[in-house]
Amino acid sequence: FVNKLQYLARIDRARALTAQTAETDAIRFLVGTQSLKFDNQIHIIDFDDENNVINKSVLLHDAGEIWHISGSPADKAVLTTCYSKTSESRVLTCAAVWRMPPEWESGSHESPDDSSNNPQTLELLCHLDNTAHGSVACVLWEPMGDGKRVISLAENHMLLWDLQESSTKATISSSATLEGKGQLKFTAGKWSPHHNNTQLATANDTAIRGWDLRSMSQIYCIENAHGQLVRDLDFNPNKQYYLASCGDDCKVKFWDVRHINEPVKCLEEHSHWVWSVRYNHSHDQLLLTGSSDSRVILSNMVSISSEPFGHLVDDDELSDNEESQQEDKGKEPLQDSIIATYEEHEDSVYAVEWSAADPWLFASLSYDGRLVINRVPRALKYRILL
């Protein structure tokens, strides 16, 4: 079996990628295109890992070129996009909630053969627009939620929306504004899966801020988290205070938000801007990053993971001699390492995502519209599991 599988998407340009979060049986990713010449599309990428086949379906997204895409955690058919549109000679990035046609909802369908030639259109459920708040950078679903709460980050505004009537109506339930000198603007955000979903982290310029969504107030601020713009954030799924960030200083940093003066760890493996950072949902030592150096790097950050000493071995399995060696070994956290560097892309890698259905599988997307699907090397998988 090959460790690497590659899929070259036949699309113009793309930078928006998400796993279909609510689909936990089939391996499925959604890609949003950025074309100025043609109608933009959502490409639904289904990977059949038994037969190593990738199937693609296409849905029309007439609204404009897609900058961000995100799937509902509760409903496979529902997603949000942030897209550009020109209004009164100004280009604005708007956001909306959409529904796929019923036959596309599940990853198990045989995609209609003519979907590329004769694509169906997404159904608009509602706009998350309040043009008074300016362009939307991203929309974040409440993690593990019922698909009824989203946050949009627009310019210097953070808006918490309630989706009602099967997501056909959106109302702002609370909001916060980034205060300070100059034109402050959110670039990225992540809704924490911990603390009963009451916390959010945002990036603006070189700073990372934490927010309490109950009071919509700031709880921490890492002023110069990176030397240049912060591009992306992700929370460790198993350690509630740990956060990863990446940016234009080519670095990936790990933070304990209780002690924000210094990062816990810093990776300097990329040679250009780092656009995307993602923790594995199950095994938090596994971390993916994608960069404008056209590379995807899979790191094993075991020393700051929830299992820094690896798995404990049963005493019965060890002879006396092995037991003393094991004790010595057990005191030192395991070593962090770069597991693999993937060089199948020839353009900036704007997004990396783990599959929601298979913890050992991930996708990366570069601007030239190439989507690559890879697996964690089998030897490492068994080392983690056994």
For the chain, what is the total number of helices (H) and then of strands (E)? 2, 29
User: Which tens digit of pLDDT belongs to each residue from 70-126?
Assistant: 999 999 999 999 999 877 778 889 999 999 998 876 654 455 455 556 789 999 999
Phi and psi at 286, nearest 5°, equal: -90, 125
- For tokens 């210094």, the residue is 262
Residue-wise pLDDT tens digits, 16-26: 999 999 988 99
Report the pLDDT averaged over residues 178-185: 86
HSE-CB of 266 using CA atoms within 13 angstroms: 10
Label residue 171 exposed, middle or buried (CB < 10 Å: 0-12, 13-18, 19+). exposed
pTM equals 0.89
Task: Give 222's strand partners.
Answer: 208
Q: How far apart are CA 308 and CA 289, in angstroms?
A: 21
pLDDT score of 6: 55
Residue 181 near residue 205, CB atoms below 8 Å: no
H/E run at residue 91: strand 90-99
Segment 113-164, tens digit of pLDDT: 555 567 899 999 999 976 677 899 999 999 988 999 999 999 999 999 999 9
User: What pLDDT shows up at residue 4?
Assistant: 52
